């Protein structure tokens, strides 16, 4: 018992010192524990700048990056403007040529009215009053239809006497006609039509064949005129023999 009491008496003075030591260690460690491991300032830029070689200028690199971003912005703005203009043009064309299918169907009606007029001559209409009235009604109907076409910018193509244009004319056959230059439209079988500047149907025509070419005829004409003015028949003599 006395030995145990001695041991307790010896342990009591050590406990305050141990507590003071623990407190000092806690006080010494608490400021370090309270500081966060993450830095308060982002140092990644400094690390990147430190990684640059002495010849590389950070300002020049930033200016290059700004120029690249500016170029990308300008390209994106230009592409957006092109898309806007293309969309607007497509919308205008859609409104402008929306009636093309209907107009093409009406061209057959215009052709039948023209055939009806051509099948009845004016002499027969004058002799028969009923036929004359019928022909007059067809004429009025055709005139009304043509006025509607004109109001909506639908114009016929009747190229009689013009040079063949493959963009608007369709040659069906050739006719021997030496009096007219080759390739001239001498007969219109079926009139063509166009809506604004778009072709609805080409004109079916017959063209001349065998005549002189227009350019050759124009070049030969002045030469013949000059020769006729300078000399008369029998005025020149060939002395080479």
More confident residue, 207 or 229: 207
- Residue-range domains of the chain with CATH: 155-222 (2.30.22.10)
Which pLDDT score is estimated for 85? 95
Token look-up 């350019």 returns 215
**Where is 124: in which H helix or E strand?**
helix 122-127
Q: What is the pTM of this model?
A: 0.55
- Give the tens place of pLDDT for each residue, 32-41: 455 445 544 4
Helices (H), the chain: 2-34, 44-51, 58-96, 100-119, 122-127, 129-151, 214-230
Q: Identify whether the C-beta of residue 226 lies closer than 8 Å to the C-beta of residue 195.
A: no
pLDDT band, residue 56 (cuts 50/70/90):
low
Higher pLDDT, 11 or 175: 175
Using CA atoms, how far apart are residues 164 and 26, in angstroms rounded to an integer? Answer: 108
Q: What value does the mean pLDDT take over residues 133-149? A: 94
């Amino acid at each position: 018992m006395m030995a145990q009491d001695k041991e307790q008496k010896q342990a009591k003075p050590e406990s305050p010192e141990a507590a003071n030591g623990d407190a000092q260690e806690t006080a010494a460690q608490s400021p370090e524990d309270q500081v966060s491991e993450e830095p308060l300032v982002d140092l990644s830029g400094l690390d990147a700048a430190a990684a640059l070689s002495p010849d590389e200028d950070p300002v020049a690199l930033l200016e290059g990056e700004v120029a690249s971003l500016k170029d990308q912005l300008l390209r994106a703005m230009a592409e957006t403007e092109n898309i806007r203009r293309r969309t607007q043009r497509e919308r205008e064309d859609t409104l402008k040529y929306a009636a093309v299918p209907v107009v093409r169907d009406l061209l057959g009606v215009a052709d039948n009215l023209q055939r009806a007029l051509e099948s009845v001559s004016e002499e027969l209409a004058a002799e028969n009053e009923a036929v004359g009235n019928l022909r007059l009604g067809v004429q009025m109907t055709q005139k009304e239809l043509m006025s509607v076409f004109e109001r909506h910018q639908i114009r016929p193509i009747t190229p009689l006497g013009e040079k063949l244009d493959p963009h608007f004319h369709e040659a069906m056959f050739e006719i021997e006609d030496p009096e007219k230059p080759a390739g001239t439209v001498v007969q219109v079988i079926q009139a063509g039509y166009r809506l604004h500047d778009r072709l609805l149907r080409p004109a079916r025509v017959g063209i001349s064949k065998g005549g002189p070419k227009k350019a050759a005829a124009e070049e030969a004409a002045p030469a013949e005129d000059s020769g006729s003015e300078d000399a008369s028949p029998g005025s020149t003599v060939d002395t080479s023999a």
